[in-house]
Chains A and B, each alone.
Chain A
Amino acid sequence: MIDIQEKLKEIGPYVEAADDDVLVCRCEEVTKGEIRQAVHAGMFTMEEIRRYLRSGMGLCQGQTCGKLVKGIVARELKVSPLEIEPATSRAPMRPTEMRIMAQDGGGANE
């Protein structure tokens, strides 16, 4: 278990970077700077970042930015991307309209 306060001390304060305004999540328009700041606010997992910034929560469901966000978080935390806890994977895997979700043909226990 990571001690968040210890880790925050270790990585030091957020320092502005020249490319902070570059978009990372194209759907929800979340920038690199916002993601970096979120890490310094104590969010170290993909799930927390998603819920806090909505990156990866748009129409494409993180297909494009998932790996990019992970890389930014890892660099900020000075660890390998392999150490970053991945986000939960849940249905629907593709954008699906609510009216279609409502047309569910039935579950396993019927």
Chain B
Amino acid sequence: MIKRYDLIVVGAGPAGLSAAIEAAKNGLKPIVFDENAKPGGQLFKQIHKFFGSKEHKAKIRGFNIGDELLREASENGVEVVLNATVIGLYDGKEVTVKIGEEILHYKGDSVLIATGASENMVTFKGWTTPGVIGAGAAQTMMNLHHIKPGNKVLMLGSGNVGLVVSYQLMQAGCEVVALVDAAPRIGGYGVHAAKIARCGVPFYLSHTIVEVTGAEAVNGVTIAKLDENFKFIEGTEKTFEVDTVCVAVGLSPMSQLLKQAGCEMKDTPGGFVPVCDDSGATSIPGIYAAGDVAGIEEASSAMIEGRMSGARIANYLGYLDEDALQARLAELEQALSSLRKGMFAPENRGKLVTKTEEGIDTSMSLLEKGYVADDEIEKYPGVTKGSGVHPVIECTQNIPCNPCQDACPKGCISIGSNITSLPVVKGDVACIGCGMCVASCSGQAIFLVEDDIGDGYGTVTLPYEFLPLPEVGQKGIALGRDGKEVCKAEVINVRSSTAFDHTHLLTMKVSTDMVMKARFFKAE
């Protein structure tokens, strides 16, 4: 007996679940298969706050978005079958699923493939040694299974995954000895780079791994600088004693099921993807694709793409009329297009953007070393001086993100209607020092600065997400944006609140002339 469903979804990640929810809301009965033991795809490994605006669930951490999605799925009667591996897809919209010790066949009036992506790899001498792992593996170990992947780690890859996972490694208590990338410039968001650079992690751009050593397990790694032809420059080798090497060199769509079914495919620099329209319809009527399998993007975009496919499928099966579909698609399309704007928009991939939308020069120091240089920072509109406590917003790239503008109860911060504009601090509004902006910034790029509290001291309030949490009165060292020692510092306040969602606000006292340089606190 073949079981039939209105919609079969393969993959219970952000795209698949969103599509199933949207379809179910329109009256369809979807079933979702996932090979993993838990639903949510990669969302439950993502412990950072998301970018975007309210409609993209900005400033909410990935795993909390995952919980929301699961709740919504269950409320709408979406059936999710776990430990169910789809091993084949045939053009009659039939899937074969391995569940337990059996292979079962299901037929869908429609099928949505939302299988996501797999990690790319690079080869180097010793890359098969135990202790060399994918960045995804590191995330899985620390955020799902609560174990440290290693004690001393070198990260290869400076895209958002490499940057975010490096930060997460430090949060898990690991030491990140270096971040290395063969490219001459950092690939991910500058704010993600800056938050690890100020903790003292050195960046080695135009470098890659020569060799990993260790017979039974990794005990070291040697990197070297590359020339313009990507050949090692002799004499530039550096060796680090590490037990783990983490590789984060991009993702590829896992599109094999679509190819097997006979969907028209195309090979692109971003991977082998199905040819499909905006709502994920492939060349085979009734077979759809959404999320990373259709082209690598963020989870935020995957969720919108899923909704679009879900609506489109509801229309295909007669549950949603054409006008209602178009209205829904237009709404979702707008949300999606705002995420695809700015310096990291798909059309800018790999390009060097030398000026912001506001016409300010891009910080080359940020792109090459991971931090904005002290003499560059004041060019940006979020960085202002004032008497009394005031926000300093070190947001220097046009990325689609705006939670800071809603965070301030006094309306100090403005981004405007263009979501990628750099935030501006309004000089005429009084800051009350509540810190909501500091905690709301997914890039952890907002600081509260007070130049003068008397006796030659000022204060800097910074977002702090590590353990142990420093205590009031604790003395230590203030680190600069480059992670180097700036001056002595003393913790004078630590604020924690459910509204801050695990981002603590640490206020340190530093000498007045250092308030625009000190950006991290290191206990002595």
Contacts and interface: CB of A to CB of B under 8 A. Distances in A.
A91 B87 contact: yes
A104 to B, nearest CB: 4
A93 B98 CA distance: 10
A103 B102 contact: yes
The 5 closest A-B pairs by CB, nearest first: A91-B88, A92-B87, A89-B259, A89-B256, A89-B260
A32 B122 CA distance: 12
Interface stretch (B124-132, B177-185, B309-317): B124-132
B277 to A, nearest CB: 22
Contacts of A90: 88, 260
Interface in A79-101: 81-82, 86, 89-94, 96, 99-101
Interface residues of A, number: 32
A22 interface: yes
B35 interface: yes
A94 B260 CA distance: 13
Report whether over half of chain A's contact residues are helix, strand or loop; otherwise say mixed. Answer: loop
Given A86-B267, A89-B260, A100-B103, A26 B128 contact: yes
Given A106-B1, A108-B107, 19 more contacts: A26-B128, A63-B118, A64-B118, A67-B120, A67-B252, A81-B267, A82-B268, A86-B259, A91-B87, A93-B257, A94-B35, A94-B87, A96-B87, A100-B101, A100-B103, A103-B101, A104-B105, A105-B103, A106-B2
Interface stretch (B13-21, B89-97, B199-207, B409-417): B89-97
Interface residues of B, number: 38
A68 interface: yes
B352 interface: no
A94 B88 CA distance: 9
Contacts of B257: 89, 93
A68 B256 CA distance: 16
B356 interface: no
Contact of A32 (B121, B123, B265, B268): B123
A94 B94 contact: no
A19 interface: yes
B84 to A, nearest CB: 11
29 contacts: A19-B125, A22-B123, A23-B123, A24-B123, A67-B121, A82-B267, A86-B267, A89-B256, A89-B257, A89-B260, A90-B88, A91-B88, A91-B96, A91-B260, A92-B87, A93-B88, A94-B35, A94-B87, A96-B85, A100-B98, A100-B102, A103-B102, A104-B105, A105-B103, A105-B104, A105-B105, A106-B1, A106-B105, A108-B92
Contacts of B259: 86, 89
Nearest to A32: B123
A22 B102 contact: no
Contacts of A99: 101
